Structure 1
Amino acid sequence: MMAEKKKKELPRKVVADNRRARFDYDIGEVFEAGIALKGTEVKALRTGKATIHESYAGGKNGELWLFNSYVPEYLEANRFNHEPRRPRKLLMHKRQIHKLTVAVEREGMTVVPLKIYFNEQGRAKVEVALAKGRKAHDKREAVKERDWNRDKARLMRDRG
């Protein structure tokens, strides 16, 4: 009998993280979406210099697109390079896309990307969330609550 080869599983490599989104929005339901990329975009993403802090997702013609995300040009590619801020198609099931677009239209919610990462199979994925924007006083309240929880944990740790 031949010994079975075990696939070398790669850990989830986060390429871009939108930490600001958790502060600016109340995050609701989170979805995982594939992303349609060109060859040079994949190589540029692997360098880890992409940013999604100002990007958002929106529906267009029954499809979901990621707008204003920045994937830098791949330096080793010459004339076949990609445009850094082009809209990128998100790959999701139709039911999920419909759910997101209805929530955006009816409830005034926003679809924000939380992170871009490569999964175990090496495919680029985007974690998007249905979110509701916070007002300035909500942000201050969230900061107070976070600081209080941090102080509370510190006190509990020091006592026992």
Structure 2
Amino acid sequence: MKQQRFSDNINIRNRQASFEYELLDKYVAGMVLMGTEIKSIREGKVNLQDGYCYFNNGEMFVKGINITPYAQGTHYNHDATRERKLLLKRSEIKKLEGKIEEKGLTLIPTRLFINDRGLAKLEIALGKGKKLHDKRDSIRERDAKRELNRIKLK
């Protein structure tokens, strides 16, 4: 059986985001990509850990997402960490821009996936940074869930 190089169901998550931030609202945005970027995404070679979103002249951009250059790409290959424009409705951008001006809120990419039409979408979340004691609570809850699952399996 031949293994496919490009996967049909891409679902890349930023698991660190839910630990570092308290996620309030989630939005799904399209991304403006170059030709070889979608091929690298379909291979699953993406890192969302250091990504963040910002506004510039009424448009939203994401920075810090690392999409590894495509192996078979030529001199037209993309820059791995370039900033990419996000596609949202103008009303959503205005709403998010207003919320970001509040103290302590930020936009974090939480998931990158390919929808049923074959387009790459980025799920972004409005988040508030957790304090150290909140992180300890998250660890405690995660350990309790793990322990309950062990008991149920026995």
| Superposition TM-score, scaled by structure 1 size | 0.85
Which residue of structure 2 lines up, in the alignment, with residue 99 of structure 1?
A: 95
Q: CA deviation at 1:27?
A: 0.6
Any gaps of 5 or more consecutive residues in structure 1?
1-9
Q: Amino acid of the residue matched to residue 117 of structure 2?
A: Q
Q: CA deviation at 1:149?
A: 3.3
The equivalent position to 1:49 in structure 2, one of 29, 45, 48, is 45
The equivalent position to 2:10 in structure 1, one of 9, 13, 29, is 13
When residues 154 and 106 of structure 1 are mapped into structure 2, their CA distance, relative to the original with a 3 A threshold, is same
Q: CA deviation at 1:108?
A: 2.4
Please give the secondary structure, in 1, of the residue aligned with 2:66: coil
The equivalent position to 1:149 in structure 2, one of 145, 148, 154, is 145
Q: CA deviation at 1:139?
A: 0.1
Contact 1:30 1:130 in 2 (8 A): yes
| Superposition TM-score, scaled by structure 2 size | 0.89
Which residue of structure 1 lines up, in the alignment, with residue 20 of structure 2?
A: 24
Q: Amino acid of the residue matched to residue 52 of structure 1?
A: L
Deviations 1:49-79 (CA, angstroms, capped at 9, x unpaired): 1101110111111011010110111121111
Q: Distance in 1 between matches of 2:60 and 2:50?
A: 17
Deviations 1:97-156 (CA, angstroms, capped at 9, x unpaired): 11111111123201000111101111000000000000111101111122223334544x
Q: CA deviation at 1:12?
A: 4.4
Contact 1:11 1:119 in 2 (8 A): no
Contact 1:11 1:120 in 2 (8 A): no
Deviations 1:34-58 (CA, angstroms, capped at 9, x unpaired): 0000101111111111101110111
Q: CA deviation at 1:11?
A: 6.5
Which residue of structure 2 lines up, in the alignment, with residue 80 of structure 1?
A: 76
Q: CA deviation at 1:26?
A: 0.4
Q: Amino acid of the residue matched to residue 71 of structure 1?
A: I
Which residue of structure 2 lines up, in the alignment, with residue 65 of structure 1?
A: 61
Identity of aligned residues (%): 36
Q: Distance in 2 between matches of 1:154 and 1:71?
A: 37
Please give the secondary structure, in 1, of the residue aligned with 2:123: strand
In our comparison, the structure showing a higher alpha carbon Rg is: 1
Runs of 4+ in 1 over 6 A off after TM superposition: none
Which residue of structure 2 lines up, in the alignment, with residue 5 of structure 1?
A: none
